Structure 1
Amino acid sequence: SIYTRTTDPFNPARVGEILRLVELGPDLAEAQRGEVRVMLSSYADIFALAVSEVTPVEGAVYAPKIPEDVKFSTKIHQRPLTQPQAVYLHQQVDILTEAGIIRPIHPRDVKCVSP
């Protein structure tokens, strides 16, 4: 597996995938391209190849201080999604949920909807 950021960040397959995904502009000479590839390889531990490889920052929690008596709009102003859009959106929500980035809540707990 190439998703080894936390267990083996310099796994050759992982480094190869990082190098494949990073696009280098045509304005670099071949020697410069080599230098950039070496640098990217040496910093492979900072790249996340999937959202599940993103590590949380300790103490970084979003906690807005909104007074209890404030009322926000909870009306959703959105056109219905097409079937392909809905499938894609649900897949992305599942990925973010599995990675622990978002969590499901009951609709009654929604306090604000952003347009």
Structure 2
Amino acid sequence: MSISRRKVPYGFTLDQDSAVNFAEATAPTCCFIDQRPGQGHGAVGTWMDELGSECGEWPLLTAYLEMIAHVMETGEALDNHVPRIDPPGDLSWRARVTEPPPAAGTHPGRQLVL
């Protein structure tokens, strides 16, 4: 799935009149919709406490929701995180754990006989 992205660098300031927050994480991070007039109006961006804002990650909320639906249906990782439904039905993201590759000359579950 390919989604066109136009990013604006971190560091610009958004206030309550120029952005609508719609998702928050337990860490100081949230997603927002840019309400400033101009070409980027309606774009979805992210805000991180230590970095500030980055806008235009997705051109519209519909593109963001299509991407979320895609990863939910396929189980693909998004920025190295996989979706998970926690009770009572909350969507959460877990870091994808990757196993280190087997050592040379070994295979998981098999014994190497020389």
What's the TM-score once normalised by structure 2's chain length? 0.19
* Higher normalized contact order (CA 8 Å, seq sep 6+, divided by chain length): 1
Task: Please state which structure has a larger fraction of its residues in strand.
Answer: 2
